């Protein structure tokens, strides 16, 4: 039996998605702000954030999200759910797309951002407001991720989980952060006591670089060499960076030119990508790829916890389709006009999520 809270969410989400799809051309879908059991709708994300208070929840519809102003700033402790970003799991709603830069500022402690596709996300928009603690970014697509606006962030207990991140490129970093089950492309960071568990890193047109003198711990990750020609592409500049259970997978060449000062305590080995994955032969991330490991891959059950290396390891593997944890609309059929009695036929199917 679905708990009453879940049931309320089912009706809430079905209601605002229905409202979001019954608008005339040129308008934006409805954003639902849930506060103390009451729901208010907005078409402007900036206005919804302004009207919210700490502890509120925002539900963003599929499609492009409108926000007044040149950027979007989250400065309150909010839970924000989008409809998701994988095309095959958002056929009923479309992807939730945010084109403006997102800044997560001081005051957003304890917040969550889940299920959106955005061009840019940064902690802080000045050196005075980049301290954010206990924030989670889950199942998003991020074009450029910046851990701190400038210098060394003092933010702690940040979780970056099950995301696709095109670029992490900064000399700044968190003092405490867990990156787990993400897919990265361009990666250039100073770890600052960060831990990287069960991620996939593409080494393609850019470097994979970890530098600095503080401790960085990499466990059960897969690094894909996807250069079309050998190049200087993998650099570890810190003797305090430790790689455990690392699998190197190659698409075009067995390796590029690799230099490192870090420690590989248990390097699993190197194998061709067609042997590593069910289907992942593109040089960069693709939604069409299948990153589950082949049963015969040397990374199968080779993690430190006895599960697979990569995003489908751990006791709670990466969720297929990156569906957010709130109830998810899986299909909709809305009539284009009422019948002679004034009834509009609406059929919406919603699936509750267990995580």
- The answer, yes or no, to whether residue 108 has pLDDT greater than 60, is yes
Lowest mean pLDDT among 166-170, 184-188, 230-234: 230-234
Q: What is the pLDDT of residue 238?
A: 60
| Centroid of chain to Cα 335 | 34
CB 119 within 8 A of CB 143: yes
Question: Could you give the dihedral angle defined by the CA atoms of residues 270, 271, 277 and 279, in that order, rounded to the nearest 10 degrees?
Answer: 130
Say which range, 26-35, 79-88, 195-204, 289-298, has the weakest mean pLDDT. Answer: 26-35
pLDDT (0 to 100) of residue 26: 44
171-176: average pLDDT: 65
Rounded average pLDDT over 276-304: 94
Q: What is the mean pLDDT of the chain?
A: 83
327 falls in which pLDDT band (50, 70, 90)? confident
Count of C-beta atoms within a 10 Å radius of residue 38: 7
On the question of pLDDT at 197 being above 60, the answer is yes
Q: What does the CA dihedral 250, 254, 255, 261 come to, rounded to 10 degrees?
A: 90
Q: What does the pLDDT read at residue 263?
A: 67
Percent of the chain with pLDDT over 90: 51
Token pair for residue 261?
Answer: 């000062």
- What residues are paired with 332 via a beta bridge? 348
Region 251-275: what's the mean pLDDT? Answer: 74
Question: What is the pLDDT, as a whole number, of residue 171?
Answer: 52
The band of 258, judged by pLDDT with boundaries at 50, 70 and 90, is low
Do 320 and 289 touch, CB atoms closer than 8 A?
Answer: no
Mean pLDDT of 245-269: 73
Helix (H, G, I), strand (E, B) or coil at 229: coil
Partners of 258 in the beta sheet?
234
Q: Name all contacts of 342-348 with Cβ < 8 Å and 24+ positions apart.
A: 346/18, 348/14, 348/17, 348/18
Does residue 274 contact residue 217 with C-beta atoms inside 8 Å?
A: no
Higher-confidence residue: 173 or 119? 119
Reply yes or no on whether the pLDDT at 75 is more than 90.
yes
Block residue for tokens 């400038």: 150
Q: Give the three-class secondary structure for 215.
A: coil
Q: How many CB atoms lie within 10 A of CB 299?
A: 27
∠ CA 7-11-17, nearest 5°, is 140
Report residue 330's pLDDT band, with 50, 70 and 90 as the boundaries: confident
- Categorize the per-residue pLDDT at 230 as very low, low, confident or very high, splitting at 50, 70 and 90: low
Alpha helix locations (H) across 122-164? Answer: none
pLDDT tier at 24, thresholds 50, 70, 90: very low
- For the entire predicted model, the pTM comes to 0.88
DSSP 8-state assignment for residue 287: T
Distance, CA of 197 to CA of 189 (rounded, Å): 16
The pLDDT value recorded for residue 4 is: 46
> Two tokens at 294?
């082949």
Rounded average pLDDT over 246-274 = 75
């Amino acid at each position: 039996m679905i708990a009453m809270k879940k049931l309320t969410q089912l009706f809430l989400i079905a209601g605002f998605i229905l409202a979001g799809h019954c608008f005339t051309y040129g308008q934006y879908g409805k954003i639902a702000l849930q506060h103390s059991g009451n729901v208010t709708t907005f078409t402007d994300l900036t206005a919804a954030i302004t009207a919210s208070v700490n502890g509120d929840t925002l539900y963003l519809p599929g499609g492009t999200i409108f926000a007044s102003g040149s950027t979007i700033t989250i400065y309150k402790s909010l839970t924000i759910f989008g409809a998701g970003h994988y095309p095959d799991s958002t056929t009923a709603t479309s992807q939730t797309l945010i084109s403006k830069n997102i800044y997560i500022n001081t005051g957003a402690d304890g917040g969550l951002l889940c299920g959106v596709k955005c061009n840019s996300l940064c902690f802080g928009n000045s050196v005075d407001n980049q301290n954010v603690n206990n924030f989670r970014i889950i199942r998003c697509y991020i074009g450029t991720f910046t851990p701190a606006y400038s210098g060394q962030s003092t933010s702690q207990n940040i979780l970056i989980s099950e995301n696709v991140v095109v670029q992490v490129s900064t000399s700044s970093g968190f003092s405490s952060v867990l990156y787990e089950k993400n897919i990265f492309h361009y990666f250039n960071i100073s770890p600052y006591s960060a831990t990287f568990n069960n991620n996939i890193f593409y080494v393609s047109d850019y470097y994979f670089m970890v530098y600095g003198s503080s401790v960085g711990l990499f466990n059960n990750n897969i690094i894909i060499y996807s250069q079309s020609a050998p190049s200087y592409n993998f650099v570890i500049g810190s003797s305090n960076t430790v790689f455990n259970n690392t699998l190197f997978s190659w698409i075009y060449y067995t390796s590029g030119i690799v230099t490192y000062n870090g420690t590989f305590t248990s390097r699993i080995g190197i194998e061709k990508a067609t042997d590593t994955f069910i289907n992942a032969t593109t040089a960069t991330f693709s939604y069409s790829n299948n990153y589950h490991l082949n049963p015969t891959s040397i990374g199968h059950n080779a993690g430190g916890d006895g599960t697979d290396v990569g995003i489908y390891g751990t006791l709670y593997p990466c969720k297929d389709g990156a569906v957010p944890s709130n109830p998810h609309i899986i299909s909709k059929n809305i009539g284009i006009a009422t019948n002679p009695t004034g009834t509009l036929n609406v059929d919406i199917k919603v699936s509750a999520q267990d995580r």
